[in-house]
Structure 1
Amino acid sequence: MVFSWRGGPDYRRLLLSLWLFTIWEAGSSQLHYSVPEEAKHGTFVGRIAQDLGLELAELVPRLFRVASRDRGDLLEVNLQNGILFVNSRIDREALCGRSAECSIHLEVIVDRPLQVFHVEVEVRDINDNPPVFPVTQKTLFISESRLLDSRFPLEGASDADVGSNALLTYRLSTNEHFALDVPPNHEQGQPLGLVLRKPLDREEAAEMRLLLTATDGGKPELTGTVQLLITVLDVNDNAPVFDRSLYTVKLPENVPNGTWVIKVNASDVDEGVNGDVMYSFSSDVSPDIKSKFHMDPVSGEITVIGVIDYEESKAYRIPLEARDKGSPSLPGHCTVLVEVVDANDNVPQLNVKTLWLPVKEDAQLGKVIALISVTDLDAGVNGQVTCSLSPHVPFKLVSTFKNYYSLVLDSALDRETTADYKVVVTARDAGSPSLWATASVSVQVADVNDNAPAFAQPEYTVFVKENNPPGAHIFTVSATDADAQENALVSYSLVERRVGERLLSSFVSVHAESGKVFALQPLDHEELELLQFQVSARDAGVPALGSNVTLQVFLLDENDNAPVLLGSGIGSADGVFNQLLPKYVNPGHVVAKVSAVDADSGYNAWLSYELQSWSGSTRSPFRVGLYTGEISTTRTLDEGDGTQQRLLVLVKDHGEPQLTATVTVLVSIVENGQAPKVSLRSSVGATVPESSLVDVNVYLIIAICAVSSLLVLMLLLYTALRCSAAPPGGVCGPGKPVLVCSSSVGTWSYSQQRRQRVCSGEGPPKADLMAFSPGLPPCPESADGPGEPSVSLDSHEKVSFCRTALFL
């Protein structure tokens, strides 16, 4: 390995440190080595791993590899010691021809992390090619009458080497008649020549043999020779003479056949046939020139007959000869130097090597996607190439070395927005007109789990009738995930919590794949009016992402509870009351009051009372309040009414189907002044003491007071909450005002306290209040007809009606 440093040791160490630091930091730098051509296999080139700052132990794990485009396996790296060595024969002339510079470009690639290094190995020329003349023997015909200092051109030798190895010197074998004329180096195209120093005498010497030797400047020197056979001619003593010894012309490449190149002219002072000139190529002209150019023997015009390609040859040196028709014929010589002008006729060539596909959408900026190299066979501005990318792609090109680029990530990727990019790389030269070529790189974006499953709305309201069959499907939740494959595979589960004393999972379940929600058991509106819970949706990504949705399941009441009479035995269908009534009372006197409750809600718990029968034959002296249950007199009692009346009172709700209960009231008519004694008998004839009925009345009064106090307290609390700065909105936020109205059967309202309990799903099961008042204005007509009770409710209050707690 050869490094060329200038300066002292400290200066060299400083430059070496800066150079290695740049390689380590940038990950894409350049090393320079040199190696002589024709080096043997295994010849040491350089410690490439050490110079790149890489540890020997990490070469294999990091997939250290060397690539060389169009150079085969000339160089190789020993992964055990990190040494770059010659792997096969390197012929500089085969690689670079006669170019002054010759180097092998290597791309060194290591992974984990990815780094790309550029290494240039200069191939030094050695003197392995001797000078070569076009022919081994050249015959010259020279008239004995030629004047002194006449010059006879010779074809020089060529050397395939470069530099000093191709610097030729010439010498002529010793003789007394000729000297060798070597033109200066700067006169390109000026041939060698023999100069006549002493007149020729054919009679003295009709033929001479001279040896022309060419020696290159290499170490050791190599030589080539050509034998010159000089035949001395007699008689025709004037040779044709060209206007110039060197003609120079510029010819664009790719000109069509028949294109005129130049016309040369030679004159001969002789007369007659001795002055007639014929033109031709010299006898030692190369076959390549004969295949590309045509010489008109009469006019001296040169035209194109083959393909002129700048990339094949940048210039053509054509030796010409003008010969007269004398006997013997005498020649004149000149050289035409045709310089080929480059045309922009080569399209840039792109080579794309992808490194990492597909690219994850969370890849870091600056990640190398592909390596791109571009070449253009043209020269000058025609070979200057710039590369660009198609617009609106999240990538950019980074120039790493001359015509080498890296395609890197320039902005963040999002597979859900764009899953595939077609990146078009355009290489355009600077010629006129400009030529360009494109190469496409398809970059697929790999999905990462960056999107959680999403529901269409944050919560759903579901209405379910109570007493559903076990396993009934009540709702289906569905969430979508914008990711792909397993990252978009959604599964559903319940967010477990306690509902009262039981777990939520004992009430409902959700199918993990379909999202269907099932009721595991019959639900009872009287036990649970609102079941509020959350369903979680999670994807199968790593890590998994999830989101929740809230379900509010309102249980719709069904008329599944019959009215229950207060004071009757538990579970009994009807009962018997005994009531004493003074004989002389005014009409409207209240005899007794029948009270009943219904465990249902709304209309299903709205009770009415009817008098079914009585024991007399005339118009009944009693009536019962339709909604109060109060039994009162309609007229004054007389002797015909008897001493005891048996009244059958029917209690019924307004549900579908309608459920009823009956109670029998035995009214005993007594004389005024007698103490009333009331007894209660059940339907099976059991007698209840009067003290027990009094106790029941006391309990009823206490219950009424408690409920009233609770109502007042709740109203005060509600007012305080409304006045506070609570955030608006939400299921449990302030609703619309409750409409309180009346009809022919009274009025009723829906309590705000009940709404608060519905939102929470907790609280006592039966604390609703339905209050009737005949003094309120009637309700507006509804779809159910005039006179029916109506109430204004919001979307969460549609199915919750007041349950009758007590009728007085």
Structure 2
Amino acid sequence: MMLLALISILPVCLCVDLVYYVQERKSPRTYVGDIAADTHSMDNLQLKDHKMITFSHLKQGTSGTSQFFRVSKETGKIYTTQTIDAESLCSRNVECFEMMDVAVRKGTSFIKLLEIKIIIQDVNDHQPEFLQKQVHIEFEEDVVKGTKVLIPNAIDKDVGMLNSKITYQLKKIIKEPFSLFVSKSVDGTSQLAINLEERLDRETKDSYKIQVIAKDGGSPSKQSILDVHILVTDVNDNFPVFSQNVYNVSIYSDYDPKEPVVILTATDLDLGKNGEIVYQLSTKTKQLAQTHFKINEKTGQIFLQKKFESGQKSTYTLYVKATDKGDLPLSSLAIVVVNVINQQNNIPKIEVNYVFSSSEDVTSISEDIEVSSFIAYVKVTDHDVGQNGEIHCDLHHDKFQLQRLGPKKYKVTVKNQLDRETEDHHDIIINCQDKGSPPLHSEKKFSVQVTDVNDVQPQFPKETFKFLMYENQESKHHVGSINATDPDLGPGGKLTYSLITHSKHFLPFKITDYGFISTTTSLDHELQKVYKFQVIVQDNGIPPLNNTVNIIVEVRDKNDNAPYFIFPSINPFTMDIVYYPHHTNNVTVLKASDIDSRENAFLRYDITAGNEKQLFTINHYTGLLSFTRVLNQQDSGTYELEFLVKDSGSPVQSAKTVIFLTLTVSNKTSEMLNAVHIKTEDKIHLNLVVIITLASVTLSVIITASLSICILRCCHRRRSTPHIGGGNPTERCVSEQRHLMCPSYQGNTWIDVMSSKGSDPDGDRNFHLEDSRRGSPQGHEFDNRQRGTMSALKPHSSNEMPQQIIIREVSQSPCSERYKKNTMISPDYSIWRPTRSPHPDNGHNWKEADRDHCHREDLPGM
């Protein structure tokens, strides 16, 4: 049963806060007491918020209570750490206890330092033991009644008052003339003797056998037996006696070793050897005392044999034994207490006990420790008296400070916030100085190692990483690497990289844990030129910290695509040109495209064949095809022109196309429909009306005649020239868009006036055919599907703007009565004509022989 005593309320000892009891021989982890519960009732300490209270056992090197007891940091309960043997720890008949210092903190704030006394209760685990199982004693036959012969006493190794208290009994046969005599010595032990109660007659009986029983006062009691064999002879029956049982002397610390400290005297009533006395220091005297003092065996003088050192014990206890020289020597003990008065001024001794884990003079604390946290307990020892023993200590450091707890007691606390990344090691020096004359000082050095926490986010050297690579590289091609830094240690400084991806967008990249970016597929500049995404970097600390960075990957173009012609879109392509003098020399514009970029898409046009007369020229960069001079009738004819377009990449890519151009040179100026401006007056002059009428009739006759001649010539030429693709040219039909059937008009000739409808992306004008009902055959009109959209050349001036096209019927289509074959001649000499197409009828249910699609031979820019 544990017994708790609140010593702080007892007036007899104000230096101890709590006292607990624990029995020896208990197994480790035996509960001793509850500091938290007991301190709650103390007047000077109220721990209301007990959840924030922690208890720290301040250990003192390798000695002290650290090897026997431990304190729970959270609960404040004390437990044993090992089995305690009171006999090996304490002396007999002396209170057996250990002291321990416990620091009480609330959070990181220090509250109080408790001094706790733990009394170790002895268990009756030893029985009284005689040094011998049997002894032989002698009585002289002529000795008188009351003569005593000493026998060995029993020794009980227990240290408890009751457990070590021995009582003796004599077991004998009735009428045997002996009794047991017991006397107590000053050290608490008993001296035994066999007492003669009657005179002996050796001739009647010369020997006896009796037993002495020794019992201790424990519960249950234990005992042992000594067999005593008595011979009737003479014996030494007197003990040496000291003049006093206890000697108390005081000396100065600088006492002269030649002078005796004290002289002991003892007397023995025995004669001869039985009365001669020898003085010795008993084995009960501690080793420290035996090193400082010695005794003269004959005279009993005690001398100082070693000077006292600073900080040593000021009181020494010596046990002196006086023994006679009898055959059975008798002895007695006296106690000598020597008090040493210190007159020296000794250097203060500093002892540091660390709250956190430590090794030698190095303690480790975390960098996130709060300011004012308690990290070490400092105790200063100076046994000097007066001002020589008054101590003042200080500590100068920008991160730590020294706070006073009491006389010669301090604590080291955190003064300012720590940062391991700035400084991970701090050297601390504590200086202590007394007030003696001259003052003496000492210092204690120890180090604080700051351990790391994951408190720094990974950092990139810049916000955006840009990488360049060429398209068409193989997968797993290295793009580049990124790097982030994290000054944290261990897992907190180990970084892992990953891509931030979205399910809606495929990202053809991957990244390793070390920041190396590579492709997962081959990249195509034409598919995507720039990739923008983010990478997240995360450390492995607890909790993990992360950061993101922007990544831009620009895919550089390679010349992996050949240019292709947009106009003409068919190879070979056929054009009929009617040339009129005094008009623009521009024929058409060839257009090509290249899906590559930059110089790989910078195109150049050339005429590579068919221009032996040097009649044509082409702008190398715009594709404008023009006549090189004014034409005459001898220039008419068919030209097979081969064109080459090539890019500026490396290696150069190119494409070719062929245009079959039929050139007709007219010797007449093309008719123009001049707009008549009517003067807005109330009256019209009669002459003006006549002039306008005559001009209109004349112009109509000229236009009708010109159209008839052109149609007849065109029909003759078409019948005489076979189709290049091998088909009948009369089987071709005309439409303004692909895959449209020709209308079955029966009229011969009509004129459409062109009107501007905006501009195309290239800056050229778009012209739409507008139906002029005058001259429309049988009153039919073009619908929107039959109005071709033609892109004319951008005129050099407003005077060169084309104003009309001429459409003439060539012939009835022999392929089917439903179709008409027409040739549409534009002012820039491009025409619309039917072309045999390999495409299917797309649901129009044409016959195999009539599967001719309408195809427009497009104008420049279409």
TM-score (norm 1): 0.49
Larger radius of gyration: 2
